[in-house]
Amino acid sequence: MEWEVVIGLEIHAQLATTSKIFSGAAIRYGAAPNTQACAIDLGYPGTLPVLNEAAVRMAVKFGLAVDAQIAPRSVFARKNYFYPDLPKGYQISQFELPVVSGGHLDIDLEDGGHKRVGITRAHLEEDAGKSLHEDFHGLTGIDLNRAGTPLLEIVSEPDMRSAKEAVAYMKKLHALVRYLEICDGNMQEGSFRCDANVSVRPRGATRLGTRCEIKNLNSFRFVERAINFEVERQIDVLESGGQIVQETRLYDSVKDETRTMRSKEEANDYRYFPDPDLLPLMIEPAFISTVRATLPELPDARRARFVSQYGLPDYDAAVLTTTRELADYYEQLVTQAPADAKLAANWVMGELAARLNEENLDITESRVSTAQLAGMLVRISDQTISGKLAKQVFEVLWTEGGEADAIIDRLGLRQITDTGAIEAMIDQILADNPAQLAQYRSGKDKLFGFFVGQAMKLTAGKANPAQLNELLRRKLDAE
Amino acid sequence: MSFTIETVRGIAHLARLAVDEPELEAYTQVLSRSLDLLAQINAADTTGITEMAHPLDVAQRLRPDAVTEPDVREACLAQAPAADAGLFLVPKVIE
């Protein structure tokens, strides 16, 4: 039987506020345990939560960016469950009336097409603390620094049909929240994490199959691998006559498998109810307007502009706008070396990206500044150096720093563009290789490359290739 | 509308309350009577009336995003039954 895969994602984006969602405690990552947990975060009696305005602002900003409705009135609810890293015995979240609903995000497919993924809702909630299970002689250590950290939970429609599509959606969302500056997107620190709802059904069926939820996937690679594993598992179960049990599963990246975490049969019934400690959140049109005014140019718009303004192919524009920082780097570079925008794109996507990748660096940590790279691009454009020799200049810029002009002089990489000098050299080469010359002239065209090679050898690659080709052709075909 | 004893047992489990059999019987009756009251309220015609999440007719006030709470770890850990290395210690929990 042919199976169709159905995937929906729930993504938790930690909002980039300086204090918690309901208290004035700090949320700096990596602080000593429990030094950022105040009486409100600890659930002490007599405390009351007060909502952080920046968190609301960020949720609205997200809603506007995905073309969603911003609820004029939304309500906080208590999600009740017992776990030691949840000191109040409930998580403050939103249930029936979330702040954002009904948006969408367009993703690129591998075949070059596009797909619109629905965003069901996005709601504000607080994070729980952390449990540490090691090293405490049979006890569990609890760190409540993270308790009360603001999260935006972004829930998609079950619109994705493969692990690749799910990853494309997640990457697009990741880029978006960083463009919006509402989330730092640091997946290792858990600032952006994903739960995947996965089911399969016979192709053509309209009813959804029973789904499993895979929890806490904190890298794009794990999302893809976990979904692929889970799809295989479900198909195996169904094809051997079994039934899928609705349950929560954990992905084990070491064994590359998912396994049961808890089954929904005795699942948590969270007994949601409106939190009496919090009044309804009312969002006025004026508030939405002020947030709208802070929206930056969004990735899709920037990509389209890169095509129209710089004449880049859509592929290049898509790659260069993957992150706001990369797009900023590119635009700064083009401002400094405006002669050839495509050349700049090639270097950023080629040599620079390769070096960053090799050393596992972010574009903001690039060892070559836009000014340094621009200095070199200008010398390629004005033919001082060839693109091939520029790689040597780039290497020095990367490893030692400095300025392109000084490096070109020091390494003697200036292109030979003096027609007289090139001609004299060609005459010499033809005189030194009479046998090859005779063969060429008797029709062995392939030997053209031999003469080019000789010239490049004599000039250590510095002869201007276009000039050399032209002059050489003229001399060889002279008789 | 009424509760079954099984539902009450389930609720007690979710709330982590130890309720013995005779108590379960009693709660089943009492909670069912509460439901009857709610059914009566439910019967009122509320067409066109916005549901109320809170008895006060005011909106949530917002707080500026600033750190105002100092580090109170030592005071809080001192009240915990067990603490070590800056952490609260609790009986082992692993799912």
What residue in A sits closest to B60 (Cα-Cα)? A279
Mean pLDDT confidence for A273-288: 94
What does the pLDDT read at residue A10? 97
Which phi and psi (to 5°) does residue A6 adopt?
-125, 125
In the predicted structure, residue A264 carries a pLDDT above the cut 60: no
- Write out the two tokens for A407: 């490096």
Contact predicate A157/A150, CB 8 Å: no
For residue A417, which of A339, A471, A458, A344 has the smallest C-alpha distance?
A471
Kindly report, residue by residue over A233-260, the tens digit of the pLDDT.
999 999 999 999 888 898 988 888 888 8
Is A5:A201 a contact under the CB 8 Å cutoff?
no
Structural domain includes residue A211:
no
Structure tokens at A276: 């009496």
Question: Do residues A272 and A156 both lie within one domain?
Answer: yes
Claim to verify: residue A389 and residue A441 sit in the same structural domain: no
Bridge partner list, A479: none
How far apart, in whole angstroms, are the C-alpha atoms of residue B64 and residue A17? Answer: 10
A221 in a domain, yes or no?
Answer: no
Q: What is the pLDDT of residues A187-246, one digit of tens each?
A: 999 999 999 999 999 999 999 999 999 988 989 999 999 999 999 999 999 999 999 988
Q: Is A346 helix (H, G, I), strand (E, B) or coil?
A: helix
pLDDT at A479: 61
Distance from C-alpha of B43 to C-alpha of B61, rounded to nearest angstrom: 34
Q: Is the dihedral of CA B22, B25, B31, B33 positive or negative?
A: negative
CB-CB contact of B71 with A37 (8 Å):
no
Report the alpha-carbon distance of residue A179 to residue A119 in Å, rounded.
Answer: 18
In terms of domains, do A271 and A334 share one?
no
Q: Looking at this protein, which amino acid is placed at residue B74?
A: E
Query: Which token pair is A238?
Result: 């169904």
Say if residue A328's pLDDT is above 50.
yes
Q: If you write DSSP's letter for every residue of A278-328 in order, what string do you get?
A: S--EE--HHHHHHHHTT----HHHHHHHHHHHH---HHHHHHHTSSHHHHH
Cα distances (angstroms) measured from residue A186 to each of A12, A31, A37, A191, A410? 12, 16, 22, 5, 41
Q: Kind and range of the H or E element at A13?
A: strand A3-14
**Within this chain, do residues A304 and A273 fall inside the same structural domain, yes or no?**
no
Q: Are residues A348 and A432 in the same domain?
A: no
| β-bridge pairing B62-63 and A51-52 | parallel
ipTM higher than the 0.85 cut? no
First and final C-alpha spacing in chain B: 36
The reply to whether residue A279 touches residue B56, judged by beta carbons under 8 angstroms, is yes
Q: Does residue B18 sit at the A interface (CB-CB below 8 Å)?
A: no
Beta-carbon contacts of residue A317 (< 8 Å; ≥ 6 apart): A303, A304, A306, A307, A310
Q: Note whether B20 contacts A: Cβ–Cβ < 8 A.
A: no
Q: Of A290, A323, A354, which residue is a domain's last?
A: A290
Asked if A136 and A84 count as a contact pair (C-beta separation under 8 A), the reply is no
- Name every chain A residue with its beta carbon within 8 A of the beta carbon of B53: 75, 97, 274, 279-280
Q: What is the mean pLDDT of chain A?
A: 92
Contact A291, A266 (CB under 8 A): no
Same domain, A270 and A185: yes
Closest CA to B63 of A16, A199, A21, A44: A21
| Closest-CA distance of chain B to residue A371, Å | 37
Cα atoms found within 13 Å of the Cα of residue A385, Cβ hemisphere only: 24
Contact assessment for residue A69 and residue A285, using Cβ atoms and an 8 Å cutoff: no
Q: Are residues A308 and A406 in the same domain?
A: yes
Q: Residues of A with CB below 8 A from B61's CB?
A: 50-51, 279
Mean pLDDT of A114-128: 97
Model confidence band, residue A263 (pLDDT cutoffs 50, 70, 90): low
Through-space distance between the first and last CA atoms of chain A, rounded to whole angstroms:
72
Tell me, yes or no, whether A173 and A47 share the same domain.
yes
Instruction: Write the DSSP symbol of residue A463.
Output: B
DSSP state of A380: H
How many residues in total does chain B contain? 95
Q: What is the mean pLDDT of residues A87-105?
A: 96
Same domain for A470 and A451: yes
Q: Are residue A313 and residue A439 in the same domain, yes or no?
A: no
Restricting to A residues 227-256, those with a Cβ less than 8 Å away from any Cβ of B are none
Q: How many whole angstroms separate alpha carbon A84 and alpha carbon A132?
A: 11
- What CATH number corresponds to the domain at position A440? 1.10.10.410
Helix A465-476 to helix A419-432 angle, to the nearest 10 degrees?
A: 50
The two structure tokens encoding residue A14: 């930690």
Identity of the residue in B58, B63, B72 whose CB atom sits nearest the CB atom of A51: B63
Q: For residue range B14-60, what is the model confidence (pLDDT) as tens digits?
A: 888 999 999 999 999 999 999 999 999 989 998 988 777 667 777 88
Which residues are CB-neighbours of A201 under 8 A, at least 6 positions away?
A3, A4, A6, A207, A208, A209
Q: Residues 260..279 of A with a Cβ closer than 8 Å to B: which?
A: 261-262, 268-269, 271, 274, 276, 278-279
Assess whether A311 and A428 both reside in one domain: no
Tokens of A152: 């935006």
Number of compact structural domains in chain A: 3
Q: Is the distance from CB of B35 to CB of B3 less than 8 angstroms?
A: yes
Token pair of A135, please?
A: 């090293």
* Whole-number Å distance between alpha carbons of A246 and A257: 17
CB A455 within 8 A of CB A406: no
Q: What is the CATH number of domain B5-42?
A: 1.10.20
CA distance A18 to chain B (A): 6
Specify the pLDDT at position A467: 84
Are A37 and A145 in contact by the 8 Å Cβ rule? The answer is yes
The three-class DSSP label of residue A65 is: helix
Look up the domain containing A403 and give its range.
Answer: 299-411
The per-residue pLDDT for range B66-95, each reduced to its tens digit, is 999 999 999 999 999 999 999 999 998 764
Which token pair is B50?
């916005």
Q: Are A18 and A27 in contact (CB under 8 A)?
A: yes
Residue A85 shares a structural domain with residue A139? yes
Q: Do A56 and B66 touch (CB under 8 A)?
A: no
How far, in whole angstroms, is CA B83 from its chain's centroid?
A: 27
Residue A416 pLDDT: 80
Helix (H) or strand (E) holding B87: strand B87-91
Indicate the SS3 state at residue A123.
strand
> How far apart, in Å, are the Cα atoms of B29 and each of A264, B6, B33, B84?
28, 12, 6, 46
Looking at this protein, which amino acid is placed at residue A304? A
